[in-house]
């Protein structure tokens, strides 16, 4: 088990920086997810940690040990690949035992550990099967077993669930989380699926264009996005900008085309007259009840039934807004309805 430190990491391909000055510290036993759209540099970061790429700049430490020049084979990390990367010519047992053999672990110890891993992954009885004879979920388990059996310092996951169907994906991610907690191995997990990231991580690192946008636990990432990229990438958000027209205590009044609204300022340093960017979630735009703040009246353009709620697309004096209503509410396109926005919902962006 290791602490992982990335210091000012840069990795270029053909002079284009795939990873651009990334610094990150991961505590022992922590489960950190690198989240971002494809091409954001998350996989490159992961593979640089594994040692498949040499960083062009910056340093990688496991605990206090500089790892830059250590070949992948000596890093004692274990990677779970998107394709599982099982050895097609070896049976399940040999696949799992491979890393132990490489570490010259004694035969009896190998047996014990592989059996344990099989047990843990509910694969007992399948040790003689070839990878080609297994279902996708089973192959996934073998890949996990192969990764943990070597007791790595760091577990690396490269979108390990993207080849599974939706239901299985939810099930396996819970298993991965449980397993990681039980073993307490420091884990770096790469995904582009925000639900997965929110569900599984201790901390999320949102990446975009080779750089870190925001680091934080799932709640703070969701509730307090700090950049418009994070706000837009995670969940749904109305991202707008407006002028500060008044300020009192820890509240500011914002001038928007469809009215003036009071919002909690949080750490906002802006003074009257400044233009600021902010976001709020659709679930914070709710049907107006007597006494609610920040009243908006808007035309309903589309109303999409989602089961427990209705997704609404609104037109508020030319500004498009997303809102959410309880499915009991009888709203249909063309109606004009009145909504309110919670003062605490406003997240000011950089």
Partner 1 sequence: MAATKQKNLWYVRQARRKRRFTTLLTVFFILVQVLWVGVPIFMTVLWSLVDPNHPWSFPNILPEKLSWGQWMYVFKYTNILRALKTSYTLAPCAVLLSFLFSLPTAYVLGRKQIPGKKFFQTIVLLPIIMPGMVVALFLSRVFNAFGLAQNFFGLVLAHTLMGLPYMIRVLTTSFEAIPQDVIDAAENLGANTFVKIKDIFLPMVRPGLLAGMIFAFTTSIEEFNLTFIIGTPTFETIPTILYSFLGYNFIRTNASVVALIMMIPNIIMLFAVENFLKSDYLSASLGKL
Residues that bind partner 1 (CB under 8 A): 47, 50-52, 71-79, 81-90, 98-99, 102-103, 130-132, 136, 139, 146, 150, 156, 163
Cβ atoms of 34 and 201 closer than 8 Å = no
Local structure of 110: helix, strand or coil: helix
| Nearest-angstrom CA–CA distance, 25 and 65 | 14
Which of 142/256 has CB closer to partner 1?
A: 142
CB of 93 vs partner 1, minimal distance in Å: 14
Nearer of residues 51 and 210 to partner 1, judged by Cβ = 51
Beta-carbon contacts of 53 under 8 Å, excluding residues fewer than 6 positions away, are 11, 44, 47
User: Measured from the CB of residue 79, what is the shortest distance to partner 1 in angstroms?
Assistant: 5
What is the DSSP pairing of strand 31-35 with strand 203-208?
Answer: parallel
Residue 208 beta carbon to partner 1: minimum distance, rounded to whole angstroms: 25
Tell me how far, at minimum, the Cβ of 206 lies from partner 1, in Å. Answer: 25
Instruction: Give 54 or 271: the residue with its C-beta nearer to partner 1.
Output: 54
Strands (E), the chain: 4-13, 16-26, 31-35, 57-62, 65-66, 77-80, 154-158, 186-191, 203-208, 211-216, 238-248, 251-256, 259-264, 275-280, 285-287, 295-305, 309-316, 319-326, 336-341, 347-349
Residue 204 beta carbon to partner 1: minimum distance, rounded to whole angstroms: 24
Nearer to partner 1, 91 or 251 (CB): 91
Distance separating alpha carbons of residues 304 and 302, to the nearest angstrom: 6
Residue closer to partner 1, measured from CB, 98 or 313:
98
d(CA 145, CA 98): 11
Q: How far apart are CA 26 and CA 21, in angstroms?
A: 16
Question: Which residues share a beta bridge with 32?
Answer: 188, 203
Smallest gap, in angstroms, from Cβ of residue 156 to partner 1? 8
Residue 74 or 317 having the CB closest to partner 1: 74
């Amino acid at each position: 088990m290791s602490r992982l430190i990335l210091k000012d990491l840069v990795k270029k391909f053909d002079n284009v920086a795939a990873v651009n000055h990334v610094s990150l510290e991961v505590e022992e036993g922590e489960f950190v997810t690198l989240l971002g759209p494809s091409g954001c540099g998350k996989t490159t970061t992961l593979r640089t940690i594994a040692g498949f790429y040499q960083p062009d700049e910056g340093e990688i430490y496991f605990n206090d040990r500089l790892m830059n020049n250590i070949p992948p084979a000596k890093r004692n990390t274990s990677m779970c690949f998107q394709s599982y990367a099982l050895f097609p010519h070896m049976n399940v047992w040999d696949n799992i035992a491979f890393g132990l053999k490489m570490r010259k672990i004694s035969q009896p110890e190998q047996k014990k550990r592989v059996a344990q891993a099989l047990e843990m992954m509910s694969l007992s009885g399948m040790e003689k099967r070839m990878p080609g004879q297994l279902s996708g979920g089973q192959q996934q388990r073998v890949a996990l077993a192969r990764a943990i059996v070597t007791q790595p310092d760091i577990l690396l996951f490269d979108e390990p669930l993207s080849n599974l169907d939706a239901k299985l994906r939810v099930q396996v991610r819970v298993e991965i989380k449980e397993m990681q907690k039980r073993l307490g191995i420091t884990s770096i997990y790469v995904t582009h699926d925000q639900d997965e990231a929110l569900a599984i991580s201790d901390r999320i690192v949102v990446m975009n264009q080779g750089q870190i946008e925001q680091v934080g636990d799932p709640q703070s990432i969701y509730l307090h996005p700090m950049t418009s990229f994070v706000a837009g990438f995670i969940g749904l958000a109305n991202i707008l900008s407006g002028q500060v027209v008044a300020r009192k205590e820890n509240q500011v009044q914002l001038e928007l085309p469809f009215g003036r609204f009071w919002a909690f300022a949080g750490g906002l340093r802006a003074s009257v007259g400044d233009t600021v960017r902010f976001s709020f979630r659709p679930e914070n735009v709710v049907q107006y009840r007597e006494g609610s703040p920040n009243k908006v009246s808007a035309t309903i353009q589309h109303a999409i039934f989602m089961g427990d709620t209705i997704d609404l697309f609104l037109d508020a004096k030319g500004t498009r807004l997303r809102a959410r209503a309880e499915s009991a509410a009888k709203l249909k396109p063309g109606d004009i309805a009145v909504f309110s926005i919670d003062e605490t919902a406003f997240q000011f962006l950089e």
